């Protein structure tokens, strides 16, 4: 319903609209002398951003929970480190047009297994896949972004988001977290960046 759309969390469109309004007011400070005029410019920019967010939610792609069997079998595996990677998102036409990034998280365990956790832009699936190498784990992220898997993009990682986790944090915790996530993807309000941010918070504070 329309009320549900308005209640949905707003995202990048609204933020961009607000920043555009502020920037326009600063740029036109000499041309627009009245407070009313400036408020109208800001309001129009915010309204445009809000419209983008609502359109993004309307056309959101709804998927499913996709947890690989090997991940379930290794639910008791103890984790030790969290990596965050990104690549240009070419799996969604609007995201490709605005050069939006696709982000994913790789969890390293004490048994040297790697688990890729991400939300796929092509279908909204919340997915966890297991790999034996960090490169193999990153390939899952590149596939989701519809990028070549041998382009050296393993180096496009957010080193400022790397951190260790306590030894008692198991894969089972991440599986339980993923099962509570809404499997949907919208280029503005519910994309991979919001997804990885939500996952990093509980892992960091565990």
Give residue 43's pLDDT. 73
Give residue 40's pLDDT. 66
CA dist., res. 141 & res. 71, Å (int): 16
Residue-wise pLDDT for 183-199, tens only, equals: 998 888 788 989 999 99
Inter-residue contact 131 to 112 (CB < 8 Å):
no
Of 12-16, 76-80, 140-144, 201-205, the poorest mean pLDDT is in 12-16
- Output the six-digit token pair for 42: 């800001």
Mean pLDDT (whole number) for 28-34: 58
Q: What value, to the nearest 5°, has the Cα angle with vertex 42 and ends 37 and 47?
A: 125
Question: With pLDDT > 90 as the criterion, what percentage of the chain qualifies?
Answer: 51
Q: SS3 helix, strand, coil % of the chain, rounded to 5?
A: 45, 20, 30
């Amino acid at each position: 319903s329309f009320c549900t759309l308005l209640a949905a969390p707003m995202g990048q469109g609204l933020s961009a609209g607000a920043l555009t309004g502020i920037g326009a007011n600063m740029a036109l400070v000499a041309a627009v002398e009245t407070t009313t005029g400036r408020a109208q410019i800001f309001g129009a920019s915010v309204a445009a951003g809000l419209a983008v967010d609502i359109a993004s939610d309307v056309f959101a792609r709804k998927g499913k929970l996709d947890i690989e069997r090997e991940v379930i079998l290794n639910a008791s595996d103890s984790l030790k480190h969290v990596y965050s990677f990104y690549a240009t998102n070419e799996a969604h036409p609007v995201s490709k047009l605005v050069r939006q990034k696709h982000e994913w998280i790789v969890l390293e365990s004490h048994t040297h297994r790697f688990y890729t956790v991400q939300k796929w832009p092509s279908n909204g699936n919340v997915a966890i896949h297991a790999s034996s190498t960090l490169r193999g784990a990153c390939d899952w992220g590149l596939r989701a972004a519809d990028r070549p898997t041998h382009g050296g993009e393993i180096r496009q990682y957010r080193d400022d988001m790397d951190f260790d986790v306590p030894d008692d944090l198991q894969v089972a915790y991440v599986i339980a977290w993923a099962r509570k996530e809404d499997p949907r993807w919208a280029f503005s309000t519910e994309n991979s960046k919001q997804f990885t941010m939500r996952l990093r918070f509980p892992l960091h504070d565990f």
